[in-house]
Amino acid sequence: MKKLFLALLLVALAAPPAQAATQKRTVVYYQTQYSNGATGTYVSPKPLVDRNTGVTDVLVAAIHLNDNRIVHLNDHPPSHPRYAQMWQDLAAMQARGVNVIGMVGGAAPGSFQRLDTRFAEYYPLLRDTIRTYRLNGVDLDVEERMSLAGIRRVIDQLKADFGAGFLVTLSPVASALRGGGNLSGFDYEELYRSHGSKIAWFNGQFYNGWGNAGSTAHYDQIINRRLIPANKVVLGTLTNPANGGSGHVSTATLRNTVTSLKTKYSDFGGVAGWEYFNSLPGGTAEPWRWAADVTAMQR
């Protein structure tokens, strides 16, 4: 009886199963949980489902594995009271079929160096965070040098620990997917050759000079290399020109690009937006409108 009870408990605590995309993906990065700084207003992601935007995936950013072996979500541990409402809202979104994915890394360095060189110390911190917050997957945003063997080991262990349905995505700059430069130190095409079956998709960064979402040209260059298929390449865009650099395109221009891509590629992977809280055209008052517009473009 004791073994049966433990087995049932583990099932109850498991994350909801990741949802297979039945439409083109509408992916939203969610890093700014409070507008106007630490004392600002809480920015809930829940309107993304309450307004029926068609969002498929919310990427909660950014998880850091700090050198004191303490996990942070941005500037605080994920257990901090400031995140209590956020975790409740995300769980409600999961219950309605949205995948909640933790984004690891990003512009702040260190997490992947530690996973690369001190795996036995730091990987369990990531594993336990995934379990505690019942994440459907992780997005590995490697913006520092890491070995190819190191990223393969992380992916292999994630799939071993969480199963085939657990989503592992990566967020390289778009040029890395067409044989060009990248920020990660390893070759993404080599990674795909060995681990493509374990990678759910890539959120390619088509902005900041690494790619352009103003036309299909850079996306086409990736697909024309005949290695990574279109269903694994999501067009990553800026939702607002204030969000981290150059390359923002207007809604009208993005619509033209997406319309062309879905015509060229029946299995086009979808669109991702960095980031949620001030997404145009709704801005901070109605940031959910970006996701609704993107979903409509893809139908």
| pLDDT (mean) for 104-122 | 96
The pLDDT value given to residue 37 = 67
Instruction: Out of 92-101, 138-147, 243-252, pick the least confident.
Output: 243-252
Using an 8 Å Cβ cutoff, are 150 and 116 in contact? yes
Q: 137 or 8, which is more confident? A: 137
258-270 core/surface letters (b: 16 or more CB in 10 A; e: else): beebbeebeebbb
Around Cβ 74, how many Cβ atoms within 10 Å?
A: 20
- Fold (topology level) of 22-298: TIM Barrel (3.20.20)
Using an 8 Å Cβ cutoff, are 241 and 259 in contact? no
Q: Which two tokens stand for residue 96?
A: 């309605």
Is it true that the peptide bond before 281 is cis, omega within 30 degrees of 0? yes
CA distance 273 to 219: 16
CA distance 221 to 273: 21
Q: Which two tokens stand for residue 281?
A: 């055209």
CA distance 107 to 274: 13
Using an 8 Å Cβ cutoff, are 57 and 28 in contact? yes
Query: Is residue 62 within a helix (H) or strand (E), and if so which, with residue range?
Result: strand 57-65
| pLDDT (mean) for 34-47 | 88
How confident is the model over 67-89, as pLDDT tens digits? Answer: 999 999 999 999 999 999 999 99
CA distance 46 to 96: 11
Q: 245 or 153, which is more confident? A: 153
How confident is the model over 17-26, as pLDDT tens digits? Answer: 675 455 699 9
42 SS3 class: strand
Q: Mean pLDDT in the chain?
A: 93
Q: Report the predicted TM-score, pTM, of the whole model to 2 decimal places.
A: 0.92
Q: Name the percent of the chain lying above pLDDT 90.
A: 90
How confident is the model over 195-234, as pLDDT tens digits? Answer: 999 999 999 999 999 999 999 999 999 999 999 999 999 9
CA distance 292 to 299: 11
Using an 8 Å Cβ cutoff, are 81 and 3 in contact? no
| pLDDT (mean) for 39-57 | 95
The pLDDT value given to residue 6 = 39
| pLDDT (mean) for 273-280 | 98
The pLDDT value given to residue 205 = 98
Place 40 in a pLDDT band, splitting at 50, 70 and 90: confident
Q: Strands 137-141, 99-105: parallel, antiparallel or unpaired by DSSP?
A: parallel
CA distance 287 to 269: 22
Is it true that the peptide bond before 62 is cis, omega within 30 degrees of 0? yes
The pLDDT value given to residue 244 = 79
pLDDT at 245 over 90: no
pLDDT at 38 over 90: no
Using an 8 Å Cβ cutoff, are 106 and 62 in contact? yes
The pLDDT value given to residue 62 = 97
Q: Which two tokens stand for residue 163?
A: 């199963």
Using an 8 Å Cβ cutoff, are 279 and 290 in contact? yes
* Nearest to 96, CA basis, from 46, 35, 141: 46
Q: Name the percent of the chain lying above pLDDT 70.
A: 91
